[in-house]
Structure 1
Amino acid sequence: MVSIVEYVFDQAERTPDTAALLSEGQTTTYAELVGQAGRLGCALLSVAPPGGHQVVGIAAETSLSAHAGILSIWAAGAAYTPLNPHHPLSRRLELVERAGVDTLIVGPEALNDLDAFLSQAPRPLTLLLPELEHQTALRAAHPKHRLLFAPDLPPAPLPHAWRYVDPQALAYLLFTSGSTGTPKGVPITHANVGAYLEHARQAWPLQPGERVSRTFELTFDLSVHDLLTAWSSGATLVPLTRRDRLSPGRFILEHQLTRFFCVPTLAAAMARHGQLPPGGLGTLKSVLFCGEALPMGVARAFARAAPRAELFNLYGPTEATIAICARQLTPELLNQGEGSAPLGEPFAGHEAVVVDQEGQPQPTGEPGELWLRGPQVFAGYWKDDARSAEALAPGAFYRTGDRVVRDERGELRFVGRLDTQLKVRGHRIEPAEVEAALARALGHAQVACLPFPSEPRAADHLVALIAHPTELSPSAEQALRQRLLAELPAYMVPERLLALPTLPQNSNGKLDRRALALYLNTLRE
């Protein structure tokens, strides 16, 4: 199997002057991308601790530092963990500790609170700042940290021998919302990613010069699909900023994108805001959806807007490396009715079985939990044996927690969750983590967090319900929201905070989430 690093470096030799990245008006060729990755890779090796790096932080999002940084980390034999500059400082510092990060690559997006980050970091760190000239004052203010600016980076190119990467080495470490209130670390190896890329390049081929979207933040593993499918094919990656994601239809046209990949919630928002006029997205050749249930009505609207494009619905948890099932949305399928699109079948070499509570296979038409097995499936959570034991079944199967059914055509269809996990605009959220932050902010545990609308895998936002004798004043609500934003990413902060005198309980004295969901539904009527 060709390593994911070698795919990109070989492509750079074939098309050195082709645009590899177009970000916020700045074009980077393949030669420039690989050159910057080489300099950063040399710098990483020069500052490696004894035993080498294991996990390097990426404090960047759409800049060259983010994209070349990932390649450099892989070439230096390490893995990356993204530290989203828009997430709370406390959360980023927590992930630095959880991942054991000693070195970070920092882009211009992370400069706003860099001084505070360095001041609060609990131990010395090495920072590579490839897009920043010498900052004497910053270096003097933080003598315990080692800061390397653009002039400090070695000019040496990346040796050819660095292209080999151990397949069993870690490629990236992502942290997802955790049911205990602590994020779960999902380690994915180069072998996992290589197995996915081998399938993706055949299933959704790209031609040199095509333009590919990147709607996903680096904390979302679907971003890895965009990077590697584009750069292993000579295509141009075009990331969307947060501002661009407000008008993706206009972005597609302005940048003449040929492939668009997004969560269904973004596609639904495009439909609501008139960004999917029939025939309006004629440059698109392929459209991919993943991350949550895809309503058939949304898929049909996109098909009408992009009549030249092939549409696909992908499915896969982070633990199974990006996506592990897919279904092409043919015209015949799109005309079959409402509901959500089928998940398709697992990729070659993988297994997907629907089982009952005893782990026994369910017959066609009977819902059960989806278990996955194959070369893309991870080996267990980061330094968490207890959670790993819960998630992995005998025979190296991963228990997804997703409730599915195999229909009469043999296709998998999503039914719901076996637990309380939610999907909001494609982000995986454990309500317990949000509720723990609410309880800390309020000083009591009588809180609940629910999706709205009530579909747990395609919610638009979160609603918090709080036991409180009176309605919260606007100032109190704003203060509470600010407390939450200091701990949680914005997508995990409830958009509405509703006060009730008491929260309902079931016969066992536990929080009655069903009653609360029914209450929220009355607010829609």
Structure 2
Amino acid sequence: MLTALNRRLGVGLLHHSHTLPDHIALTIGRREYTYQEVAHTARQWASLLVEAAGPRPRRVGVLASRNQAAYVGVAAALFAGAAFVPLNHELPLRRTRTMLERSGLDALIVDEASLPQLPQLLRGLPRRPAVLLPDSPRAGVPHLGDGDGDGDGGGHGPVLDAADLAAAAPLDQLPEAGPEDLAYVLFTSGSTGEPKQVPITHANVRSFLDANQDRYRLTPDDRLTQIGDQTFDLSVFDLFMAWENGARVCAMDPLELPAPFPYLERNGITVWFSVPSVAAALRDRGALTPGSMPTLRWSLFCGEALPRATAEAWQAAAPGSTVENLYGPTELTIACTVYRWDPQTSPALCVHDNAPIGLPYPGLHTLILDEDLAPVADGATGELCVAGPQTTPGYWQAPGPTAERFLTREGKTYFRTGDLVRMHHGQLICIGRNDQQVKVDGYRIELGEIEAALRRCGATEAVCLMWPDPATITAVMRGAADPAAVAEASADSLPPYMVPKSVHAIETMPLNANGKVDRTALRRWLDDGAARR
């Protein structure tokens, strides 16, 4: 049967339910779930997905977070032959509704915490998906309304509750999924204000997982953190690098993040994976004391730039681990380049005080192109474009954005990342977004260079924006007693046209759901402050 499954995402979970049935696959709080338990429950839910949404559901939404419904729901969608679409009830309701409409879901798995949103999310849909409620009895389901009736397909799917799921017979024969079938669909922000759907195929994610297993050699003895929300693709690494290799994934409560060390020790965590901001916050509080994370053997960071000081402090706190900086947009399946930190040689390779992003994964091809889409000279800065087996087929049902962000060269389809890079001593260095390279008084400026200078002059964290107009550089700093003095000191290393014209102190940088600095929220904060003055 495993051969027939074409090495689809999730096959490892099924395999290890037979070879390691009593091994722990998932820890949520103090509750442990064995491989046999997770796979059995997922197959029960998959049987109802097939029964309620057809022999081969296409897309299954998972509106759940950090609980059994979230993780088993993902496995159930895959076992039913569908792609999973993670959703989050903490996101604005309007955004979640847009995601639900545009995904064309056949079914929706909903946890108890998300249940109150369900009527508003489903109201008026021309075709309502089947709804599975693993945590809730049908008596507790709010009235869902009748919708508008008969759009495409018309009608409504059934609502199945916890009792239905518990009584279901496990799906015996899993539908086959080919390499080009979708494994999951994630949403990223779009320039139009509408989220873009990024479909990732089984072949995309299989290439990524294989490359990482060749590099990290995980075993059933490994234990991985699950820190990010499932709408962030770093979560796919945690879940499936664990389940494909018989390891355990441990879902951390966000309340544990400010002081994660007891959790890491209690659970014997060996693989940490997060955005650098999480580590930077621990460093700022002085929490990264030398030797404080002795169980780690891999410390992996992705999603934003890894500052040199953060890498150094983390390496000292986890001296037995190898620190790596991964880079990649969602469209290239989680990460497409990687750099291994070396305490002796890496600091000298940092540019703008950030670690290199390294070299591409095996099988990937890169181009560095200028504004005219011509290759840059050796060592020059340009936009990174990547082709290969991890590249998404294109945005879902969006030919316009697909044409803008993809190009074909010599028979290969490249994704234009929008990130500016250059080769530096044999490693790729990420300079910043091409929309963060601006012109002031005719000079081309990289805002990341200014941010690095401000950090060197005393700011714990610094973000530069063009505000309140496109010709004015404004800096927002955290951890600086006198932000104006920091900006003044930066003039020793920056030309006058790069020194911020205004500076603002902030106690806590706003972060988005993925833990990255939310620049849009910073602009609103600046606008609100200006309005009050």
- Shared fold (TM-score, shorter chain, > 0.5): yes
- Alignment-derived partner of residue 496 in structure 1: 525
| Shift, 1:110, TM fit | 1.4
1:341-385 CA-to-partner distances (Å, cap 9, x unmatched) read 111111111111212223222232210110100000012111111
- In the alignment, structure 1 residue 68 sits paired with structure 2 residue 72: yes
| Shift, 1:115, TM fit | 4.6
SS at match of 1:281: coil
| Shift, 1:143, TM fit | 6.2
Q: What is the correspondence of 1:115-514 to structure 2 with a 5 Å cutoff?
A: 115-119=119-123, 123-132=127-136, 134-136=137-139, 138=141, 142=145, 146-153=158-165, 154-159=167-172, 161-162=173-174, 164-336=176-348, 338=350, 339-395=353-409, 396-407=413-424, 409-419=425-435, 453=476, 493-494=521-522, 496-499=525-528
SS at match of 2:429: strand
Find the aligned partners of 1:499 and 1:492 in 2 and give their Cα distance.
12
AA aligned opposite 1:88:
P
- Alignment-derived partner of residue 110 in structure 1: 114
Find the aligned partners of 2:140 and 2:192 in 1 and give their Cα distance.
41
SS at match of 1:394: strand
| Shift, 1:80, TM fit | 1.3
Query: Do the aligned partners of 1:248 and 1:270 also contact (CA within 8 Å) in 2?
Result: no
1:451–1:119 distance in 2 versus 1, CA, 3 Å: farther
Q: Matched residue pairs, number? A: 450
Greater RCO (CA < 8 Å, at least 6 residues apart)? 1
- Alignment-derived partner of residue 32 in structure 2: 27
1:55–1:299 distance in 2 versus 1, CA, 3 Å: same
- Alignment-derived partner of residue 95 in structure 2: 91
- Alignment-derived partner of residue 507 in structure 1: none
1:228–1:453 distance in 2 versus 1, CA, 3 Å: farther
Find the aligned partners of 1:501 and 1:263 in 2 and give their Cα distance.
31
Find the aligned partners of 2:229 and 2:104 in 1 and give their Cα distance.
22
SS at match of 1:219: coil
- Alignment-derived partner of residue 518 in structure 1: none
SS at match of 1:101: coil
Find the aligned partners of 2:43 and 2:472 in 1 and give their Cα distance.
46
Find the aligned partners of 1:498 and 1:335 in 2 and give their Cα distance.
37
| Shift, 1:420, TM fit | 5.1
1:496–1:247 distance in 2 versus 1, CA, 3 Å: farther
- In the alignment, structure 1 residue 58 sits paired with structure 2 residue 62: yes
Find the aligned partners of 1:450 and 1:169 in 2 and give their Cα distance.
46
1:184-220 CA-to-partner distances (Å, cap 9, x unmatched) read 1111111101110111111112221321101111111
1:163-195 CA-to-partner distances (Å, cap 9, x unmatched) read 742111111111111111111111111110111
Identity of aligned residues (%): 35
Find the aligned partners of 1:353 and 1:248 in 2 and give their Cα distance.
39
Find the aligned partners of 1:75 and 1:151 in 2 and give their Cα distance.
20
| Shift, 1:452, TM fit | 6.2
Cα RMSD for the two superposed structures: 3.2
Find the aligned partners of 1:108 and 1:501 in 2 and give their Cα distance.
41
- In the alignment, structure 1 residue 4 sits paired with structure 2 residue 21: no
Query: Do the aligned partners of 2:198 and 2:331 also contact (CA within 8 Å) in 1?
Result: yes
| Shift, 1:450, TM fit | 9.9
| Shift, 1:142, TM fit | 4.4
Query: Do the aligned partners of 2:347 and 2:355 also contact (CA within 8 Å) in 1?
Result: no
Unaligned runs of 5+ in 1: 424-430, 436-444, 456-480, 503-525
AA aligned opposite 1:401:
G
Find the aligned partners of 1:260 and 1:500 in 2 and give their Cα distance.
38
SS at match of 2:191: coil
Find the aligned partners of 2:109 and 2:469 in 1 and give their Cα distance.
41
- Alignment-derived partner of residue 519 in structure 1: none
| Shift, 1:3, TM fit | 2.4
Find the aligned partners of 1:14 and 1:93 in 2 and give their Cα distance.
41
Find the aligned partners of 1:501 and 1:298 in 2 and give their Cα distance.
33
Query: Do the aligned partners of 1:364 and 1:410 also contact (CA within 8 Å) in 2?
Result: no
- Alignment-derived partner of residue 78 in structure 1: 82
SS at match of 1:162: coil
Query: Do the aligned partners of 2:135 and 2:161 also contact (CA within 8 Å) in 1?
Result: yes
| Shift, 1:112, TM fit | 4.2
AA aligned opposite 1:19:
I
AA aligned opposite 1:417:
R
Find the aligned partners of 2:175 and 2:342 in 1 and give their Cα distance.
39
Find the aligned partners of 1:450 and 1:223 in 2 and give their Cα distance.
35
SS at match of 1:39: helix
1:336–1:244 distance in 2 versus 1, CA, 3 Å: same
SS at match of 1:336: helix
| Shift, 1:255, TM fit | 2.5
Find the aligned partners of 2:375 and 2:89 in 1 and give their Cα distance.
44
Structure 2 length normalisation: TM-score?
Answer: 0.78
Query: Do the aligned partners of 1:36 and 1:68 also contact (CA within 8 Å) in 2?
Result: yes
Query: Do the aligned partners of 1:115 and 1:138 also contact (CA within 8 Å) in 2?
Result: no
- Alignment-derived partner of residue 462 in structure 1: none
Query: Do the aligned partners of 2:44 and 2:168 also contact (CA within 8 Å) in 1?
Result: yes
Structure 1 length normalisation: TM-score?
Answer: 0.79
AA aligned opposite 2:20:
T
Query: Do the aligned partners of 2:53 and 2:130 also contact (CA within 8 Å) in 1?
Result: no
1:197–1:453 distance in 2 versus 1, CA, 3 Å: farther
Unaligned runs of 5+ in 2: 1-5, 148-155, 438-446, 449-464, 479-509
